[in-house]
């Protein structure tokens, strides 16, 4: 088994999700693991899917994200993990 192809997302005070590296958004990854996050537009506009990134790296799937985020906040619907993550929802 090649462990480099697997990532985890640790959600503070909830659970840790292990999954195969994917281009899916973090929101889809969480939902496919029965963890539901408030959301609406699913395209980076409304800001409802905001989470705090405590460690790790992400990459936004689109270049233009409209939803407001402050430092260390990410929009789960519009980014993917590029490393193991620790987040707070
Ligand atoms: S669901 Fe609207 S910004 Fe993510």
pLDDT of residue 65: 72
Whichever domain contains 48, its CATH number is 3.10.20.30
pLDDT of residue 66: 76
User: How many domains is the chain built from?
Assistant: 1
Residue range 11-32, pLDDT digits in tens: 999 999 999 988 999 999 999 9
CA dist list (Å): 52 to 10, 11, 20, 33, 81: 12, 10, 22, 19, 13
Distance 1 CA to ligand 1 centre (A): 35
Strands (E), the chain: 6-11, 16-20, 50-55, 58-60, 73-75, 79-81, 85-88
Task: Supply 33's token pair.
Answer: 């693991």
Which domain range does residue 11 map to? 3-88
Mean pLDDT of 60-67: 82
Distance 40 CA to ligand 1 centre (A): 6
The answer to pTM > 0.95 is no
Distance 47 CA to ligand 1 centre (A): 5
Please tell me whether residue 49 adopts helix, strand or coil conformation: coil
Quick one: which atom of ligand 1 is closest to the CA of 50?
4
């Amino acid at each position: 088994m090649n462990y480099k192809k697997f990532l985890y997302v640790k959600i503070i005070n909830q659970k840790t999700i292990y999954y195969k590296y994917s281009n899916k958004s973090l929101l889809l990854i969480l939902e496919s693991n029965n963890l539901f996050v408030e959301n609406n537009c699913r395209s980076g506009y409304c800001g409802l899917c905001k989470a705090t990134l405590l460690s790790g790296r992400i990459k936004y799937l689109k270049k233009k994200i409209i939803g407001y985020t402050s430092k260390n906040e990410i929009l789960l619907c519009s980014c993917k993990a590029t490393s193991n993550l620790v987040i707070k929802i």
